[in-house]
Structure 1
Amino acid sequence: MTVRHDLHPTPTGIVAIVRLSSPPPDEILTALLEGGTPALEVTLTTPGAEETIAHWRERGSSALIGAGTVRTPDDARRAVRAGAQFLVTPTTSPTVLRVSAQAGVPVLCGALTPTEIDTAWQHGAAAVKVFPIDALGGPAYVKALRAPLHDVPLVPTGGIDASAARTYAALGCHAVGVGSSLVSDALAENRDWDALRTRAADLTAAWQNGTIRDHPGKDPR
């Protein structure tokens, strides 16, 4: 039986992907929160990822804090122990989904083709990360997917800027994942927190504008 992982909130809107070559400073969390970002994904490939997730959860963040690049059951267990509120995978792994189901933590499964997307959904993914979307036609591809897979919450990821975020919101997507165009090693090294705050605010506003424009009366939060 398929178990839908909705015991905890599933990220909607902008999901900031924190993938760095050194441990993320707290200023990243602060700037993203001030920019209105509703969810942060700290990839397990980032040094100190588990400690960062635990620390940011302890700070009482108003955003959901999740773990990304979760590929194995052990990855999932470590992320859950750290306090991750959602998991993001690059592929669809039934064993990862089983571990998350036992913990009651939702998973955004990575998939690309219609078969992969439906397989992830049927196996219990809370939403499906369509990646790498920029390599396969972007909004046109998502629009084609939405027709037969209208009930699957899609999270396009790859090459997302403010304009794309607005377009995906208008197409009825569940969220978008935004990586290096938002949080990057260069930005962290330069400690340009004002730029990060501005980028986050622009993305959040674009998503809300796309949601309101094409879904009047819908709460964009």
Structure 2
Amino acid sequence: MSTRHHTAPGPAGVVAIVRLNTAPPDGIRAALVAAGVEALEVTLTTPGAEAAIARWRESGTAASVGAGTVRTPDEARRAVRAGAQFLVTPTTSAAVLDTAGEAGVPVLCGALTPTEIDTAWQLGASAVKVFPVDTVGGAAYVRAVLAPLPDIPLVPTGGVDAAAARAYAALGCRAVGVGGFLVSERLAANGDFDGLHARAAELTAAWHAGRAEYAGETP
């Protein structure tokens, strides 16, 4: 296994995962950004994903916009052409890392076991998405993994709510990936952007409180 150079740091804080069965309305972006979410991940399994990435980048949003569920070099190239500022993969693919590296785009690689996590890091991931973290113990699992691998920036993903976000932040994780707890099919269908804003604000507040704990400050 050869060690590659790590790409530029990827997103930090709350990464909102947009995975829908219909094209995402732009109200989702506005509500998330207004609530302080710093990164938006549109999965390539979502209809109109590349168009949404392009629009949201062109909007000049303060949040970074990336592509999720990237599994092949072709998908990586398409996402980069659409304007993705970072890529997120469900697994670790050296070919995707190489393609993204050539474009200077950071990749959050999916992994679960300590061996998979370290392999993703050694191959050049900017951070490692620990997924599905809720199925293996959540914060307790991440704490155990960080003991031998303290230098690897982790992004726990799967079953993350406000309480979990705070716990992961307090452990020193780089970010958390949040999907269904934030952006759901029902929300998109009903256009409940006020509800989305409220939930996103709860998450970002919890994240910052956890980071304050990690820094030894009083939340």
* TM-score of the superposed pair, with normalisation by structure 2: 0.97
CA deviation string 1:71-120 (max 9, x = no partner): 00001000000000000000000000000000000000000000000000
Aligned positions, number: 217
Q: Aligned partners of 1:50, 1:185: CA distance in 2, in Å?
A: 19
Q: Aligned partners of 2:123, 2:214: CA distance in 1, in Å?
A: 30
Match of 1:2 in 2: 4
Provide the secondary structure at the position in 1 that maps to 2:28: helix
The sequence identity of aligned pairs, in percent, is 67
Match of 1:112 in 2: 112
Matches within 5 A, 1:90-101: 90-101=90-101
Matches within 5 A, 1:122-161: 122-161=122-161
Runs of 4+ in 1 over 3 A off after TM superposition: none
The answer for unaligned runs of 5 or more in structure 1 is none
The answer for unaligned runs of 5 or more in structure 2 is none
Q: Aligned partners of 2:23, 2:123: CA distance in 1, in Å?
A: 33
Provide the secondary structure at the position in 2 that maps to 1:151: coil
Provide the secondary structure at the position in 2 that maps to 1:40: strand
Q: Aligned partners of 2:23, 2:74: CA distance in 1, in Å?
A: 21
Q: Aligned partners of 1:109, 1:199: CA distance in 2, in Å?
A: 26
Match of 2:48 in 1: 48
Amino acid across the alignment from 1:19:
R
Aligned-residue offset at 1:2: 1.4
Matches within 5 A, 1:69-218: 69-216=69-216
Amino acid across the alignment from 1:212:
A
Aligned-residue offset at 1:193: 0.6
Matches within 5 A, 1:21-60: 21-60=21-60
